[in-house]
Amino acid sequence: MEIYLDNASTTEPFPEVIDAMMPYLSDEYGNPSTIYSIGRRTRKAIDEARDTVAGLLSVKSSEISFCSGATESICTLLIGAAFAAKEGRKKFVTSSIEHKAILKVAHWLMDYLDWEVTLIDPMPSGHINPKEFTEACSKGCGLASLQWVNNEIGTIQPIEEVGLKLKGMGIPFHTDVVQGIGKFPLDLGATGIAMASASSHKFYGPKGCGLSYIREGIDVRPLLVGGGQELERRAGTENVAGIVGTATALSVLARGQKAFVERLVELERIFFDTLNSSGIEYALNGGEPRVPGMMNIFFPGVESESLLLHADREGLCISAGSACASGSTEPSYVITALGGNRMRGLCSARVTFGWHNTNEDAITGAKTIGSIVAKLRGST
């Protein structure tokens, strides 16, 4: 039996999500762009889902659009905003520890639009200094982006402080909220955040669906044009079941958010208590504030690739960082950016808890990791 401790990679959909989606995968198959009743019903489902998501994020329904996931959202929002940037503002500011979806857009802006890119390095704790970040935006900046919660080490960035400052400077500010949405309240309407991106499958919704937030008045040129769906921001027939599932997942999380976070804190405590009892040497990558339930752990002398392979044989699912980098033999650029050497980046593993994990999962996971690490160290 597998124990799944890689919830930052993807999550098991809530039963309520599957139930909500099923009608739109069977009888309610109408095209939302048609005018007859079966199409009107799917259009109504999309409209209601949009209203639900907007209400949970404290924004206007017209500011929410749906897409295939955060990667599409990030590319569309950042490139679309770059095309709309004011003349003379061709600088993009972000951090060096963003998800690769952001960093590759940064390279795209340099290669194809001749933009200047400034990458802000983190402090040893894994946090970005907000003053350093905003000061880098002071001259010629047309766009900035900062991740809310880092997808490898779980550090929480000061997006509200940065957002309000950049709003006052007239600079569109984007944030990747993938790993934070659903875990903490996010009142987008009260922040200076101009744009945000999220993936449904990271918060117990379906794969292949995500959402974009664009604050009213922010100019973003659409990259997918055609039938004019999604408020003219993303053409193509909508993924009705995915959109309904996305709204349902956020609703379920919102109802139990406080209990969910408390549960993650408890699972993390049990995990570390058990790991400590094994007596193995380890160190946590990244400092506080950090999202509960996401632990990136350095095991000196044990390469993560070997640890993961042995864990898989024991039925334990953990990762070495971003799921998008699986199979890579390069050290984590996030870990090395914290001031660690190459070996620390190669000897760290990520453990992430989710809604469905039990106390026994935390205990067994820690015991399994402790046993494997001891065995691997003994064999070297």
**Helix or strand run (H / E) with residue 142:** strand 141-145
Residue type, 174: H
HSE-CB at 54 with a 13 A cutoff on CA atoms is 17
Q: How far apart are CA 242 and CA 157, in angstroms?
A: 29
Establish whether 324 is a catalytic residue: yes
Residue 65 Cα to chain centre, angstroms: 17
Q: Cα separations (Å) of 113 from 77, 83, 191?
A: 15, 9, 29
Helix (H) or strand (E) run with residue 12 in it: none
Helix, strand, coil percentages for the chain (3-state, nearest 5): 45, 15, 40
Q: Is 377 exposed, middle or buried (0-12, 13-18, 19+ CB in 10 A)?
A: middle
Burial class (CB in 10 A: 0-12, 13-18, 19+), 238: buried
Distance CA 217, CA 249 (A): 28
Q: Which residues lie below 8 Å from residue 93, measured CB to CB, with a gap of 6+?
A: 117, 118, 120, 133, 136, 137, 141, 143, 144, 145
Measured in whole angstroms, the distance separating CA 95 from the mean position of its chain's CA atoms is 15
- Residue from 259, 260, 254, 258 nearest 56 by CA: 254
For residue 316, give the H/E element and its range: strand 316-317
d(CA 244, CA 205): 9
**For residues 292 and 264, is the Cβ–Cβ distance under 8 A?**
yes
Integer-rounded Cα radius of gyration of the chain = 21
Which residue of the set 137, 141, 209, 324 is catalytic?
324
The catalytic site residues sit at 324
